Amino acid sequence: MQPVVHFRNVNKYYGTSLAVDNLDLAIAPGQFVTLLGPSGCGKSTTLRMLGGFETPSSGEIFLDGKDITRLPPNKRNVNIVFQDYALFPHLTVARNIAFGLELKGLPSDAIHKRTQELLSLVHLKDFADRTPDQLSGGQRQRVALMRALAPDPNVLLLDEPLSALDAKLRQQMQIELKSIQQTTGKTFIFVTHDQEEALTMSDVIVVMNNGRVEQMGDPHTLYSKPRSRFVASFIGQSNFLDCEVISVEGGMAALRWEGNVIHAKVDTRQPAIGERVTVALRPEALHCSSEKPMDRLGLSGRVLQRIFKGNHTSLVIALANGQEVTAQLDLVALSQVSGDEVWIGWREEDAVILAD
């Protein structure tokens, strides 16, 4: 299938500083795609280049197979929702939504029909005659979204649109945004630095760091098979063990960590014998017990802290070499830990050998 958006070897310099570094990114149509990464990693610049508000220093951008690299924003079939909504304060909700359609010169009955359709999509029919200052934050957000969708763009760009909302409303809007995306079938490209937001809404997450794509995939794959330390710690939390590969057999690697033999499943890449690798372990993948386990897994440690988190407890455990790891245990799992001396283990398939 032809990608709806394709960045080909795109670089963007601001002066001498490289904000987007050789970006090669293809996005399939009809998906909710999130650009995720820390502040300054190049997410907004990427979005703005697609919207036509920035020009790449080199490379090309294609929309539906057509080179749009140098087209002005109004000649591209994309629309953008900004963080601050930028609604017209003196226009009613209906006129705000109709604005883009009026610009296009559509007949008034078509404008009315489309506006009504969009108002009902976000349950705002009764608010059509209000001005933005008579709306709640969430309602303003919905109007901004509908105004951007009104001219029927192929791709909707959303630059941290939920960041001004409080936590509860934000969660509600995440679900709503996802549902609007599914109902309309449009491609949404959403920018955020919030990993939870990305996990909640996305079909595909593009993790960016220092202007580059670190990893791209569906939320489950990124969480369960991160390829780098950066991804493993930016999405969720991870413990890392630096090991040496002893043997690889039957899809399983035996590794040496501080004189102990540990195991990990070989998945996305085949490590070489003698190679130094990093193993990532999620806190919830660790099992803890006061009893030494009978199976081959097990590292001894000492509990330094118990942190009650409501539905689970986090144990901070010092391993024999002093390195600290975190385990996340529910009430049943916690009952296996009586004192401060513990043994930790994991299922081999939960130990990920990082690619870099």
For the bound state, the minimum distance from the C-beta of residue 162 to ligand ADP, rounded and expressed in Å, comes to: 15
Q: Is 47 helix (H, G, I), strand (E, B) or coil?
A: helix
> What is the Cα–Cα distance from 345 to 293, expressed in whole angstroms?
8
Nearer to ligand ADP, 40 or 251 (CB): 40
Provide, rounded to whole angstroms, the least separation between the CB of residue 198 and ligand ADP: 13
User: What is d(CA 56, CA 21) in angstroms, rounded to the nearest whole number?
Assistant: 11
Nearer to ligand ADP (CB atom), residue 24 or residue 324: 24
Q: Considering only CA atoms, which of 30, 186, 138, 106 is closest in space to residue 115? A: 106
Residues contacting ligand ADP: total by CB under 6 A: 10
Q: Which is nearer to ligand ADP, 42 or 219 (CB)?
A: 42
Q: Does 14 bind ligand ADP (CB under 6 A)?
A: yes
Q: Which is nearer to ligand ADP, 46 or 326 (CB)?
A: 46
Please say which residue, 37 or 217, places its beta carbon nearer to ligand ADP.
Answer: 37
* Alpha carbon distance 267, 280 (integer Å): 13
The minimum distance between CB 71 and ligand ADP, in angstroms, equals: 20
Rg (CA), the chain: 25
Q: How far is the CB of 192 from ligand ADP (least distance, A)?
A: 9
Instruction: Concatenate the DSSP letters of all residues of 248-275 into one string.
Output: EETTEEEEEETTEEEEEE--SS-PPTT-
Q: Which is nearer to ligand ADP, 199 or 248 (CB)?
A: 199
Report d(CA 178, CA 81) in Å as an integer. 15
Q: Is 4 in the site for ligand ADP (CB under 6 A)?
A: no
Smallest gap from Cβ 73 to ligand ADP, in A, equals 16
We find the least distance from the C-beta atom of residue 44 to ligand ADP, in angstroms, to be 3
Give the x-and-dash track for 251-270 against ligand ADP (CB under 6 A). Answer: --------------------
Q: How far is CA 52 from CA 103, 210, 321, in A?
A: 18, 22, 53
Give the number of C-alpha atoms closer than 13 A to the C-alpha of residue 254, restricted to the C-beta side. Answer: 8
28-57 binders of ligand ADP (CB under 6 A)? 37, 39-45
Q: Does 205 bind ligand ADP (CB under 6 A)?
A: no
Residue-level length of the chain = 356
Q: Residue 41 or residue 97: which is nearer to ligand ADP going by CB?
A: 41
Please give the distance of CA 114 from its chain centroid, rounded to a whole number. 32
Give the burial class of 233: count Cβ atoms within 10 A of its Cβ; 0-12 exposed, 13-18 middle, 19 or more buried: middle
Q: Which CB, 23 or 41, lies closer to ligand ADP?
A: 41
Look up residue 119 and give its two tokens: 């108002």
Question: 30 vs 59, which CB is nearer to ligand ADP?
Answer: 59
| Residue 78 CB, nearest approach to ligand ADP (Å) | 17
As a whole number of angstroms, the distance between CA 31 and CA 189 comes to: 8
Specify the DSSP element, H or E, that contains 199.
helix 195-201
Give the shortest CB-38-to-ligand ADP separation in angstroms: 7
Contacting ligand ADP (CB under 6 A), which of 4, 19, 122, 264?
A: 19
Residue pair 162/197 in contact by the 8 Å Cβ criterion: yes
**From the CB of 222, what's the least distance to ligand ADP, in Å?**
18
- Extract the tokens encoding 93: 């909700």
Spatial contact of 251 and 209, defined as CB atoms under 8 Å apart: no
Residues that bind ligand ADP (CB under 6 A): 14, 19, 37, 39-45
